[in-house]
Amino acid sequence: MRLHVADHPLIAHKLTVLRDVRTPSPIFRQLTEELVTLLAYEATREIRTVAEEIDTPVARTTGTTLAEPRPLVVPILRAGLGMLEGMTRLLPTAEVGFLGLQRNEETLEAVTYANRLPDDLTGRQCFVVDPMLATGGTLVASIEYLFERGARDVTCVCLLAAPEGLRMVQEAIGDRADVTIVTAAVDDHLNEKGYIIPGLGDAGDRLYGVID
């Protein structure tokens, strides 16, 4: 597993506003999209390309274009949806799959409740988007799901990560495949309820409001 912490003043600024408890949902959503676009730029550094011959108005030249098969973006429902627009803005030709994983608030384990993914992900570059890498349970379950369908090249884009979650992904995935985590920051620790500290609270609630 590789970890890339995106170190940029604009990322740090946007993350600070996201963390602030006073930031209302509409601003939180907009900033999440902007932040994800910046993270997506880092996350796509290794995206596969092919050379393409084109004509400019004045000369023939060799350019670069994204290779087939198209990359797959997989938002983890529900909070990952808030990151989708930011990803597809940078990767408009990507396909989008969905994975619904929810953590059981008592056991903190990930339970699958929905999935809409291509059956065969062999040779596909997959970009999993989930705002909070907390215990790591959801992310490990998502990566395993993609592995079962043949994917071996997975990049996870998270707004924030906890050291405990990073350790869990490292232990569960090891060097079995090419897995990269791209995040805006690695925070201090998880509290007893599994929240990232200092974190930004419940990402789904901050994006979409509290569902009772």
Binding footprint of ligand URA on the chain (CB under 6 A): 79, 132, 134, 194-196, 199, 202-204
Instruction: Kindly tell me which of 91 and 196 has the beta carbon lying closer to ligand URA.
Output: 196
DSSP state string for 21-48 = TT--HHHHHHHHHHHHHHHHHHHTTT--
Instruction: Kindly tell me which of 11 and 79 has the beta carbon lying closer to ligand URA.
Output: 79
| Min CB(21)–ligand URA separation in Å | 13
Instruction: Kindly tell me which of 147 and 208 has the beta carbon lying closer to ligand URA.
Output: 208
CA 55 to chain centroid, in Å, comes to: 36
The torsion angle over the Cα atoms of residues 63, 6, 166 and 33, rounded to 10 degrees, is -80
| Min CB(58)–ligand URA separation in Å | 52
Rounded to 5 degrees, what angle do the CA atoms 196, 73, 15 make?
35
| Min CB(187)–ligand URA separation in Å | 8
DSSP state string for 1-13 = -EEEE---HHHHH
| Min CB(79)–ligand URA separation in Å | 6
| Min CB(196)–ligand URA separation in Å | 4
Indicate the annotated binding residues for 5-phospho-alpha-D-ribose 1-diphosphate.
Answer: 78, 103, 130-138, 202
How many contiguous H segments (helices) and E segments (strands) does the chain have? 6, 13
Instruction: Kindly tell me which of 79 and 129 has the beta carbon lying closer to ligand URA.
Output: 79
Rounded to 5 degrees, what angle do the CA atoms 208, 205, 2 make?
105
Instruction: Kindly tell me which of 101 and 126 has the beta carbon lying closer to ligand URA.
Output: 101
Indicate the annotated binding residues for uracil.
Answer: 196, 201-203
Q: Determine the Cα–Cα distance for residues 27 and 4; give it in Å rounded to an integer.
A: 26
What angle, rounded to 10 degrees, do the helices at 137-148 and 163-173 form? Answer: 30
| Beta carbons of 114 and 99 less than 8 angstroms apart | yes
